[in-house]
Structure 1
Amino acid sequence: MEKRLLGVIDATAFHEGLQELTLHRSPAAIPFGGRYRLIDFVLSNMVNSGIQSVAIFPKYQYRSLMDHLGSGRNWDLNRKRDGLFFFPSPRLDHPVTGVGPLDHFAANIDFFKRSEQEYTLITNACTIFNTHFFPVLEWHIASGCDITAIRKGGVSLGMYLLKTSLLRELIETRHETGYLSVRDAATDPNSPLSLCSYPYEGYAAMIDSVDTYFSASMDLFEPEVWNQLFPRERPILTKVKDEPPTRYAREAYVHNTMVANGGLIEGTVENSIIARGVKIGKGAVVRNCIIMQKSKIEENCIVEGAILDKDVKVERGAHIKASGKKPYVVRKGTVQGAWMNS
């Protein structure tokens, strides 16, 4: 299969609802589940499906994304032939209109002309799911469709499969057809192409707002969701960091919580996701929260219903509490004290 399918990840999308988490990073690089980034899911699905050539097309704030992906070694994509390719957008002012921006692809047309894979899978970078793409390819070939969109419950997941030759044609004729993205071609009811939908039955969450991000994160505590997202035969791969296990003080109490490496917990933590290197002091209480990498919650703090971005410091005795169902977001690198209510 690896010689038949080229992977293309569109990381150009800008979601207004994620602005509080994307001031310093691409949406694709948003941390998820304590140790992963959003892009890890689709990239791991491609690798687990035998795809050996993956091109990533980013646009905004992609330094952290490049740092996370590196040479692709953690996904076995640091190869002499094929492997991981990175194509930043040459035009920062050009609007993003949908998955698979054809102008961005056109600026790198030589890559598609040199690709030996007969078919191309184009996806967004912000969908949480776990699947094998080989059945999709078999279904696409058997159906005789020009473009197959992967859908769940009738809703597009922003993933499209088509022949690489057709993709090149769409790129070269974009001014005549008026299509600005592959999504435009896949959703045009007047298109001369045959358009089909592949029904995806497993768990999937498209992350396009803080609310969907928080909801999908809390879904991880459901055993059924966890088993679908992290089966042993299709692991979600990520950047490896050699850190010691998190230390737990004698007085610490941790319940129904995901905890990554390298931290220190001395307080109470419930129903939360704790990333790498987080420190939670004595007497502190953390409930229903997402605490990102290297944040520090000092003694006797109360943090409920919040998302703390990386390197946040909550000063001793401070209270942070969301009012209502919407999580309270503390931006990266800030210091919080006293009472904070959303």
Structure 2
Amino acid sequence: MKKELLGVIDATTYHEDLEDLLAHRALAALPFAGRYRIIDFVLSNMVNSGIRSVAIFPKMQYRSLMDHLGSGKNWDLNRKRDGLFFFPSPSVDFDGNKIGSFENFAANLDFFYRSTQEYSLISNCYTVFNMNFRSILDWHSNSKCDITEIHQKDGGSMEMYLIKTSLLIKLIETRNETGYTCMKDAVNDIQSLYTICNYEYDGYAVMIDSIENYFSTSMNLLQSDVWKKLFIKEQPIFTKVKDEPPTKYIKGSVVKNAMIANGCLISGSVENSIISRGVKIGKGAVIKNCIIMQKCVIEDNCILDSVILDKDVKVEAGTQLTGTAGSPFVVRKGTQQGALMNS
């Protein structure tokens, strides 16, 4: 029988250090690299690894995540059999930072009973990486492991676990007897009856858990060697397709070392920055070392340096906003920044 994988993405995590960017969205739906969401990476990796059934377990603020994923069409997961499944948490009380919460899985145990895949891959939703899980499955079965935890080379756990689906069901059903609340508990029990193995991944991987980490990881994408490690032709990262016109560059605009998505109107200067879809940058505006999310409007003669603008932010003419690489200036979604407010 061909070994098949069931994908399970735990999207319940909430990092307080990302609070300014998570007020209106789940961490999994956090925009990244101009046109992607964080969840696109693990979801694309699963699809590229031949996984055809993926369950996503969110906790709260998941409207934007559902809108982004839709039926799963952009990941070839809109299928009559298997496909993409969405299981919102029945409770907001449990600890969402425990990846693979058995209590959350238990509320949807019928899904696991009906699954035909022999193995399950349980993953967090906030790691930026490009990995083929098929090689890990082969290594796992050849090593006769009960549970394999994926680790970064010379680093800690990536909070990803490979396990037989039948054993996962057993761990869920016996959680009250064993005291295991999540996959981490099962892996870290020194008296465990199971064979626990560590698989070392030596590729590029960053777990997004703070504003500073999000900012630095984004800025690193402007380095070609980092970009090539993450965006691999043979293993593409898929995302929601939006049909928009190309960006228009007005005469006199200047762009250096920047990533600019479709549908923008650039009249000013952009350097070492990531600009998402539909952004408007006015004449005489200077944007350096910034992350500008979708449909922001930056009016004439603004100066922004080391700034993160969430979606739909308007920056009035003549405004200056300045942060640092270690502490970027963050403007929350849908707000307005004016020259008088920041003088």
TM range (shorter): over 0.9
1:189 aligned residue: 190
Residue of structure 1 equivalent to 2:108: 108
* Number of equivalences: 341
For residue 170 of structure 1, give the secondary structure of its aligned residue in structure 2.
helix
Deviations 1:188-214 (A, max 9, x none): 222121111111011100001111111
Gap regions ≥5 residues in structure 1: none
Q: TM-score, normalised on structure 2?
A: 0.97
Q: Is the CA contact 1:264–1:280 (under 8 Å) kept in the aligned structure 2?
A: yes
Deviates more, 1:193-202 or 1:288-297: 193-202
Provide the secondary structure at the position in 2 that maps to 1:17.
Answer: helix
Tell me the distance in 2 between the aligned counterparts of 1:2 and 1:303: 54
Which residue matches 1:29? 29
Structure 2 matches for 1:6-155, cutoff 5 A? 6-152=6-152, 153-155=154-156
8 Å Cα contact 1:77/1:83 also seen in 2: yes
CA distance in 2, matches of 1:149, 1:94: 23
2:311 paired with 1:289: no
Q: Aligned equivalents of 1:295 and 1:262: distance in 2?
A: 12
Deviations 1:213-255 (A, max 9, x none): 1111011012221111111111100000000001001110000
For the Cα contact (< 8 Å) 2:147–2:197, is it kept in 1? Answer: yes
What RMSD over aligned residues (CA atoms) do the two structures have, in Å? 1.3
Q: For 1:228 and 1:339, how far apart are their aligned partners in 2?
A: 43
**Residue deviations 1:26-50 (CA, integer Å, cap 9, x gap):** 0000000000000000000000111
Residue pairs, 1:120-269, within 5 angstroms: 120-152=120-152, 153-269=154-270
Aligned residue identity for 2:109: I
Give aligned-pair identity as a percent.
64
Question: How many Å separate the matches in 1 of 2:312 and 2:42?
Answer: 27
Q: Do the aligned residues in 2 keep the contact of 1:264 with 1:279 (CA within 8 Å)?
A: yes
Change (3 A) 1:205 1:97: closer
Q: Structure 1: how far apart are the matches of 2:205 and 2:198?
A: 16
Residue type of the alignment partner of 2:315: V
Shift of residue 323, structure 1, vs aligned partner: 4.7
- Cα distance, 1:324–1:230 mapped onto 2, change above 3 Å: closer
Q: Is the 8 A contact 2:271 2:289 kept in 1?
A: yes
Contact 1:311 1:332 in 2 (8 A): yes
Structure 1 residue 325: Cα displacement: 2.4
TM-score (norm: length of structure 1):
0.97
Q: Shift of the alpha carbon at 1:94?
A: 2.2
Given that residues 320 and 339 in structure 1 are in contact (C-alpha distance below 8 angstroms), is that contact kept between their aligned partners in structure 2? no
Bigger mean CA offset, 91-100 vs 254-263: 91-100
Deviates more, 1:176-185 or 1:21-30: 176-185
1:183, distance to aligned residue in structure 2 (A): 1.6
Give the Cα–Cα distance (whole angstroms) in 2 for the partners of residues 277 and 335 of structure 1.
Answer: 17
Listed one character per residue, the Cα deviations across residues 106-151 of structure 1 (whole Å, up to 9, x for unaligned) are: 0000000010000000000000000111110001001111110111
* Pair 324,50 (structure 1): closer, same or farther in 2 beyond 3 Å: closer
